[in-house]
Amino acid sequence: MTGQHTDAEISRRVRRLETLLEDRGLIADTALDEALDAFLSGASPVNGAKIVARAWTDPDFRARLLADGTSAVAELGYSAGGVQPQRLRVVENTPDTHNVVVCTLCSCYPVRLLGPSPGWYKSEAYRSRVVREPRAVLEEFGVRLPDATRITVWDSTSETRYLVLPMRPAGTEHLDEAALAGLVRRDALIGTAVL
C-alpha cells in the first residue's frame, strides 16, 4: 500500500493488531500496556536537558558528545531509547548554523532523552513542510533567524536519532549544571526553539 496514512488510520490498525494478538492468546490483555509503561518510565526531556547542561559545562564531554553521541550519553546512563539499539547523533547549533530534526517517514525520535514526542512532531504537515521550507516552519514556532544563518534539517530513521545541542544562553556563566538544565526545553532539543 502506498501513500500517507492519518494518525487515526494508524491508531485503528494498531488497535486491530493488539486485538488479534490478545484474541489468539499470544499476549495477555495487559501485557502491551505494561511494556509501554516500562518503556516510558524513564523517558523525559529532563534527561536531554541534563546532557546539554553537561556539554555546556564540560568541554571534554561536549567533544565526545559531538563525536559519538551514543557513547557519550551512555556515560551518563542514558540511551536514545527504542525497542532496538539506536545510534544517537548530536548536532550543534552555532551563531552561523541552526539545526532542526524531523522524521519524514513516521516519527522516529529519541524518546528516552526527550519523553514522548509532541503531536506536532508526528503530524504530516510538520514532517513534510520542515524539509521544504524550514525557515517558514521555524518562524511559525517563533524562531526568527538571521537570513545569513544556515538551517540544516536532519531526518531521523529507525537506526539513527538526532538531538540538537542548543547554544548556551548568554549571561549564564554563573549557573551550575543543575540550573542550566532547568533552562533547556524539549523543543530546543528538536530545534524548533532557541534558548
Burial code of 115-140, b = ≥16 C-beta within 10 A, e = fewer? bebbeebbeeebbeebeeebeebbee
Instruction: Name the catalytic one among 11, 71, 106, 158.
Output: 106
User: Would residue 123 show up in a list of annotated catalytic residues for this protein?
Assistant: no
Q: Measured between alpha carbons, how far is 25 from 19 in angstroms, rounded to an integer?
A: 10
The number of C-alpha atoms within 13 Å of 160 and in the hemisphere containing its C-beta is 12
Encoded amino acid at 65, one letter: L
Q: Classify residue 142 by its DSSP letter.
A: T
Angle of helix 59-67 relative to helix 45-57, nearest 10 degrees, comes to: 120
Helix (H) or strand (E) holding 152: strand 150-155
Q: Measured between alpha carbons, how far is 5 from 20 in angstroms, rounded to an integer?
A: 21
Going by C-alpha positions, the residue among 195, 52, 191 that lies closest to residue 121 is 191
User: Would residue 128 show up in a list of annotated catalytic residues for this protein?
Assistant: no
Instruction: Name the catalytic one among 11, 41, 44, 103.
Output: 103
Instruction: Name the catalytic one among 79, 108, 117, 158.
Output: 108
Instruction: Name the catalytic one among 41, 107, 123, 128.
Output: 107
Return the C-alpha cell found at 119: 503531536
Q: Classify residue 55 by its DSSP letter.
A: H
Residues taking part in catalysis: 103, 106-108
